[in-house]
Structure 1
Amino acid sequence: MTTLVLPSKVTICEVAPRDGFQAENKWIPTEEKIRIVRSLANTGVRSMEITSFVHPRAIPQLKDAAEVVRGAEDLTNIKFRALVPNVKGAERAIDAGITKLKLMLSATDSHSLSNANSLVEDAQNGFTPIIELAEKNNVKVGGSISVAWGCPYEGKVPLERIISIVDRYTKMGIEEVSLADTTGMANPKQVYEYLGVLKNEFPKMEFSMHLHNTRGMALANAFAALQQGIVLFDSSIAGLGGCPYAPGASGNVATEDLVHAFEEMGIDTGMNLDSLIATAKEVKNYFGHDGGSYMLQAGPSSALSPRVKAQEKLES
């Protein structure tokens, strides 16, 4: 029998405070955002994308980014990062105390124009001053590629396009790139094949997976990534999330679902599933919905039902 070799440990970054909150139309009070961040901190999470320093008119829900970061600054056991679209956003993030920035970039011009009002090449050219600012302040920078696997405007993204963008990131000194399935268009075969080529082309680059479950493929895609040795994953509590500038975008893979799947396979996440489910229930009750969570629907596979002693016989 052939033994399947998978990583023994992974790191999951919780992105609900950014990706999840930005998808909510109703204003979430700052103190409630901080409360949810603190509840998440009790699950064992060690990495969190806490907010995005975008212009308040672009995403009004995140206009209190600095206040949220400062409200959680005592949670020193968590590595916080923030998404930034430009130098101004980077300055605000650094001033608020963020020590890791995530750059915002699309794989296609169509999505980039919708999301950032810029062509991909121009947007990537604009990263140089952000990287320089970060270096001066001893702040780390990671890259990202939205709609990396499929674009709602242009369809499947050619692998050559991703290679070109990653190559440019490499030349900028970026050592980590998040590959985002923004509208859930990826499939496991594509994920496995693309990652195989990317890891071979860029052996020093660390790739992470940001998966949305729009078409129910997120867990299958995560498994394909595991088979290529990927150990960094993004997820959102209760499956919240969605890009406001991508038609058909829906929630991220639920953190509790991802942790359950990994732990069932013997892969250590360092997170407590019971605490995650409890927090997911709190979040669902507050927002009045979830983004699609199997744990909230059925619970973990370890939660067995009472055995039936006997079945009543019915006379025909």
Structure 2
Amino acid sequence: MKININEVVTRDGFQMESKIPSIPYKLKLINQLMAAGIKHFELTSFVHPKYVPQMADADQLFAQIDRRSDVTFSALVLNQRGVERALDARADELNVVFSLSETHNLKNAKATVSESMDFVKRVIQLAPIPVNVCISTAFGCPYEGIYEKERLMDVYESLVEYNPSSISLGDTTGMANPRQVEETCSAIKSRWPNLNVGLHLHNTRGMGLANVLAGIRGGITNFDSALGGIGGCPFAKGATGNICTEDVVHMLEQMGYETGIKVDNLIQISKGLEQELEKSLPGQIMKAGQSTFTYTA
């Protein structure tokens, strides 16, 4: 089975970093990741630099990337101005994000859930490129608690009617557990078997990789991850890193899944990222090496 990885290190990964990497470093990183086999990137977000200064270089970054016909560069947008900037920058896809939580959505998007859903509908209807929708805090919110899946299903049903390219579920602060993920994903895939569904998972409480496997059991083959396991949402209490790309790829390849990504390359790139950010990163495989590695006695 082929599992698709969407690399989000330059967007979700960097948006929480106090040291903001330069554009030359970001370009080098992206090229290294493409050489390792990454085919899909959430490159950046077109948001106001007052709120997320780490993304202030979004226009320049898109202008300088090495584009390839087999690689997709998407951009996250929260409002109409963001859509306009992303289209001007020639993003391949738009990722429109809103929260299932009213409290979090007001903090993150400065809008109610209903207002955000109206915006999503307009973008899908008018955008000349594919539009993906991500529902953040899809399993629970640090302000409103863990949800029953019926709350999500009602919103999901409305979104399906808009006919987006895909709908992703975001576990923004790592509140979901494997049973919850499998049951929710199974319910969605059972009801809409042909729908392109993804998972955006965080490892806040150490359940990230378990939730990946639960998602696969629930029928999901598309996952977001960040090199080194960095990232998080600046507008949600307790938000920490994404699931780690090299750890996810290593686990999947060891289990016989196909990713098309070179783990050895990822490990070296992640070590370089650690040096760039001047801190220890959460990733495990970069520290321990692959499980197939043996030492001389």
Per the normalisation by structure 1, the TM-score is 0.91
Deviation at 1:57, TM superposition (A): 1.5
> What is the aligned counterpart of 2:88 among 54, 78, 95?
95
> What is the aligned counterpart of 1:274 among 264, 273, 285?
264
User: For the residues of structure 1 that align with 2:191 and 2:256, how far apart are their CA atoms?
Assistant: 30
Deviation at 1:291, TM superposition (A): 4.1
Question: 2:6 maps to what in 1?
Answer: 13
CA RMSD in angstroms comes to 1.3
The aligned amino acid for 1:69 is F
User: For the residues of structure 2 that align with 1:158 and 1:115, how far apart are their CA atoms?
Assistant: 22
> What is the aligned counterpart of 1:69 among 39, 48, 62?
62
Matches within 5 A, 1:201-280: 201-280=191-270
User: For the residues of structure 1 that align with 2:202 and 2:158, how far apart are their CA atoms?
Assistant: 25
Deviation at 1:174, TM superposition (A): 1.5
Question: 1:187 maps to what in 2?
Answer: 177
> Any conservation in 2 of the 1:175–1:204 contact (CA below 8 Å)?
no
Question: 1:37 maps to what in 2?
Answer: 30
The aligned amino acid for 1:150 is G
* 1:258-295 CA-partner distances (Å, limit 9, x unpaired): 00000000101000000000100000111022441111
Question: 2:188 maps to what in 1?
Answer: 198
Per the normalisation by structure 2, the TM-score is 0.96
Question: 1:314 maps to what in 2?
Answer: none
- DSSP 3-state at the match of 1:42: helix
> What is the aligned counterpart of 1:54 among 31, 47, 52?
47
Question: 2:75 maps to what in 1?
Answer: 82
> Any conservation in 1 of the 2:21–2:276 contact (CA below 8 Å)?
no
User: For the residues of structure 1 that align with 2:263 and 2:168, how far apart are their CA atoms?
Assistant: 24
Larger Rg: 1
Q: How many residues align?
A: 297
The aligned amino acid for 2:139 is W
The aligned amino acid for 1:123 is S
Structure 1 residue runs of 4 or more that deviate by more than 4 Å after TM superposition: none
Q: For residues 291 and 104 of structure 1, do their structure 2 counterparts lie closer, same or farther at Cα, with a shift above 3 Å needed? A: farther
Stretch deviating more after TM superposition (222-231 or 20-29): 20-29
* 1:212-244 CA-partner distances (Å, limit 9, x unpaired): 111110000001111122110110001111100
> Any conservation in 2 of the 1:142–1:177 contact (CA below 8 Å)?
yes
> What is the aligned counterpart of 1:178 among 136, 150, 168?
168
Deviation at 1:118, TM superposition (A): 1.4
